[in-house]
Structure 1
Amino acid sequence: MATFPLVDMEKLNTEERTATMEIIKDACENWGFFELVNHGISIELMDKVERLTKEHYEKFMDPTFKEMDASKCLESAQAEINDLDWETTFFLRHLPVSDISEIPHLDEDYRKAMREFALQLEKLAEQLLDLLCENLGLEKGYLKKVFYGSKGPNFGTKVSNYPLCPKPELIKGLRAHTDAGGIILLFQDDKVSGLELLKDDQWIDVPPMRHSIVVNLGDQLEVITNGKYKSVMHRVIARTDGTRMSIASFYNPGNDAIISPAPSLVKEYETNQVYPKFVFEDYMKLYAGLKFQAKEPRFEAMKAVESNLNLDPIATV
């Protein structure tokens, strides 16, 4: 089994840059995931975010989890539960307008830490998009411009905890899916594993690593690269060895961003345009009801409506 792709971003500024870019390229083409170390996000900040997230879970989320549907259903379940996830979550929106001040039960230290963390993650996401452009032979800034639409990208964070589970064989922490959006940056628990990706028809563990950021590609990058890069099915396994923390930040196109294969990639690889052209918001409306199903029918559904749309491209140069 090939080793899970690990990218040391400090090497991008050394004579090992070419080899490091090749690791990123291979990861995007063959894994849909890679793990970053020396990514520039403050270790002290990551430790603070982890501590405050776990404190918030213990105080506000763990006490109410037993009242949630998944917990109630599992108590009496005799067969696998396929329509619920063993997780408790809340969401933060950063862009285009932050809602952190409106989320209940967050103390001021936690709000401040998450704002600062989001700023650093936003910068990292945009840096990564430019590295992908470089590997793809696209103009620097191309992906950021496509994502921008007319009002800027959508950027938000899903804070999840996967409590210790008494019957992990009957329920998933999170059912298998691909992510709908752009590029996803995950700060995951380094003690309790559980995240798996599907590669070559096998489920592979995404290794927990202290202070790393796990990166995965969403459906929009598969479309823009005309399938050269792939979004990959992944899931979270319910565990008996502890509660798993997951802080996933999604750097996505703006609602009105027009998504389609980059013309130079269609031409370069001498292929017909395989993927559809659509408005990101329309894709998200479709995805909402089909998240836990295969992505290909979603792409086909967007193709079916493409001919009825008058999509004027937003300037990307």
Structure 2
Amino acid sequence: MTHSFPFPVLDLRDLDAGAESAARFRTALLRATHEVGFFYLIGTGITPALEEAMLGAARAFFALPEEDKLDIENIKSPHFRGYTRIGGERTAGKVDWREQIDIWSEDAALSPTELADLPPYFRMLGPNLWPAALLHFRDVVLQWQAAVVPAAHKLLRAWAEALGAPPDYFDKHFTRPSTRMKVVRYPGTEGEETGTLGVGAHKDGGCLTLLWVQPGAGGLQIRPGDEWVDAPPLEHGFVCNIGEMVERATAGYLKATVHRVVAPRAPAERISVPMFFNPSLDARFPALELPPDLRKSGEYHQDPDDVIHEVYGDNLLKSRLRAHPDVAAIHHPDLVQSGAY
């Protein structure tokens, strides 16, 4: 089947279709993440019915009265959960044109006594904030997570083999994966706002992102070279990309690619659901000992203004403090003042 898309389409079902199909999948995965850093993924087990349910739940949430959404605004959560109003998040220091709800792994918050001897990133453990006015929203989100997480694990194991490691190489770092999910609405723009960036140019800081976008909604652009390239959504598929922890762990052989989202023109809107699949907060993501033929093809340069740490929790805390300075000022002023992140 021929697809007119800017990067490869991989079918996760090929991993269960015999040794030759699985080998072709791993080869294509390695090539895509080395050359572009992005690929499309189908065959994940997400059904059309679940896609419809997610899109309906997202639209119902964003259509709630403002007071219902602000009842779970993220400034009430020291754990960076909940609703963010338009203009409430920043990318590379610039305000994003979107509203969203952040849903992370569900955890119990640690007490000040428990946190006293732990690294600061453990402050992010805590409960999610759910809209009381839309009870079925939580059920749909949990169904989505239950379907996407196993697909992400399967992809990770294929990746390990493609890089010359045993399939379980990453497993110990994902015993309690830090799954961070957003349900996002990009409002349409008009007049002087036309061309506004829903999300500014950036690389993802973690390991793996699986992005679902409502059918027909464009806006995602990637920059694998000197020019921006449109990356339209693929029906019943995900747009996947790797983050800077993987780029760092492979000494630059795998590429974390800069991307952005251009807000749609009114009256259109754009709904998307990214899932950031990352290791446990305290995981020290290992550098891979690549085969010689791969090792010589990589190049990695650290950005001194945006250091990628070995421990995932440090990267996540850094990005959240920068993206949500209001939450940081209210709940973590000591970290802001220390300048450590």
**Alignment TM class, shorter chain as reference:** 0.7 to 0.9
The one-letter code sitting in structure 1 at the alignment partner of 2:12 is M
Query: CA separation of 1:137/1:62 partners in 2, compared to 1, >3 Å: closer, same or farther?
Result: farther
Instruction: Give the equivalent residue in structure 1 for 2:56.
Output: 51
- Name the CA distance, whole Å, in 1 between partners of 2:195 and 2:315: 31
Instruction: Give the equivalent residue in structure 2 for 1:244.
Output: 270
Contact 1:133-1:143 within 8 A present in 2 as well? yes
Structure 1 residues without counterparts, runs of 5 or longer: 72-81, 292-317
Contact 1:61-1:88 within 8 A present in 2 as well? no
TM superposition shift of 1:250: 0.9
Residue correspondence of structure 1 range 58-69 to structure 2 within 5 A: 58-60=63-65
Instruction: Give the equivalent residue in structure 1 for 2:259.
Output: 234
- State the TM-score, normalizing by the size of structure 2: 0.71
1:140 and 2:167 aligned: yes
Query: CA separation of 1:265/1:159 partners in 2, compared to 1, >3 Å: closer, same or farther?
Result: farther
Residue correspondence of structure 1 range 277-296 to structure 2 within 5 A: 278-288=310-320
The one-letter code sitting in structure 2 at the alignment partner of 1:171 is T
- Name the CA distance, whole Å, in 2 between partners of 1:63 and 1:46: 24
- Name the CA distance, whole Å, in 2 between partners of 1:169 and 1:227: 36
TM superposition shift of 1:61: 6.1
TM superposition shift of 1:19: 3.0
SS of 2:49 mapped into structure 1: helix
Instruction: Give the equivalent residue in structure 1 for 2:140.
Output: 113
1:153 and 2:177 aligned: yes
Query: What whole-Å deviation, never above 9, does each CA across 1:191-231 have from its counterpart, x for those lacking one?
Result: 22101111111111112222211111111111222211111
Contact 1:95-1:155 within 8 A present in 2 as well? no
Query: CA separation of 1:35/1:270 partners in 2, compared to 1, >3 Å: closer, same or farther?
Result: closer
Contact 1:225-1:265 within 8 A present in 2 as well? no
Query: What whole-Å deviation, never above 9, does each CA across 1:82-102 have from its counterpart, x for those lacking one?
Result: 7211100110012556835x3
The one-letter code sitting in structure 2 at the alignment partner of 1:174 is V
SS of 1:176 mapped into structure 2: strand
Query: CA separation of 1:162/1:255 partners in 2, compared to 1, >3 Å: closer, same or farther?
Result: same
Determine what percentage of the aligned residue pairs are the same residue.
Answer: 24
- Name the CA distance, whole Å, in 1 between partners of 2:48 and 2:317: 37
- Name the CA distance, whole Å, in 2 between partners of 1:272 and 1:185: 24
- State the TM-score, normalizing by the size of structure 1: 0.76
- Name the CA distance, whole Å, in 1 between partners of 2:86 and 2:205: 25
- Name the CA distance, whole Å, in 2 between partners of 1:221 and 1:169: 35
Alignment partner of 1:4 out of 7, 10, 13: 7
- Name the CA distance, whole Å, in 1 between partners of 2:294 and 2:10: 27
The one-letter code sitting in structure 2 at the alignment partner of 1:228 is Y
1:176 and 2:201 aligned: yes
Q: How many residues align?
A: 276
Structure 2 residues without counterparts, runs of 5 or longer: 71-83, 109-125, 303-307, 324-341
Contact 2:156-2:170 within 8 A present in 1 as well? yes
Contact 2:87-2:99 within 8 A present in 1 as well? no
- Name the CA distance, whole Å, in 2 between partners of 1:4 and 1:270: 24
- Name the CA distance, whole Å, in 1 between partners of 2:290 and 2:318: 28
